[in-house]
Amino acid sequence: MCSNYSTKSQITSLNALQPLLRLISEADPDLKFNSLSTIDRILDDYNARGLVRELNGIEPILNNLKCDYPQITETVCNCLQKLATDPNNRAVLRDIGGLDRMIDFIGLDETKDVHVHCLNALANLLEDTECLDVRLKKFDLLRKFFYILILLAYSIQWWT
């Protein structure tokens, strides 16, 4: 694995990150896990986080969040946690619905073992005030919808 800085910089300088990002979409879980683990190690370098965004790699990483293998899901969450420390990556995650997808993931009972890792990524994502504003606006809209439903139900009772 690439644990020292020189190996990480060599991987990025040889443009090996793009093939790794393509490999995480493959069906083979071992290939997926090894690719994601390598990407996770590379993301320890802050500059690589912008490179993943430029290579449109955030969405393929996010797409592996609901994987059948907890090791892969944990690695995805670790990658998302590191990616979400960059403000531009947070904007991308917000635009592709990453916040909602992570919240939906936390709501699943069958993935309880990796919820902590997802919460760490979610905490980094919520540092973005725009992301929080989008979430609050959706909540406000939902609250208004329920208010209208209650009024409607009350009206129906009154008329009957």
For the cut 60, the answer to whether the pLDDT of residue 54 exceeds it is yes
Q: Please list, in sequence order, all residues whose beta carbon lies within 8 angstroms of the beta carbon of residue 128, skipping any fewer than 6 positions away.
A: 87, 90, 91, 94
pLDDT digit string (tens) for 112-160? Answer: 888 888 888 888 887 766 665 665 566 555 555 555 555 556 555 555 5
Q: Is 90 left (phi over 0), alpha (psi -120 to 50) or beta?
A: alpha
As assigned by CATH, the class of the 5-127 domain is mainly alpha
pTM over 0.85, yes/no? no
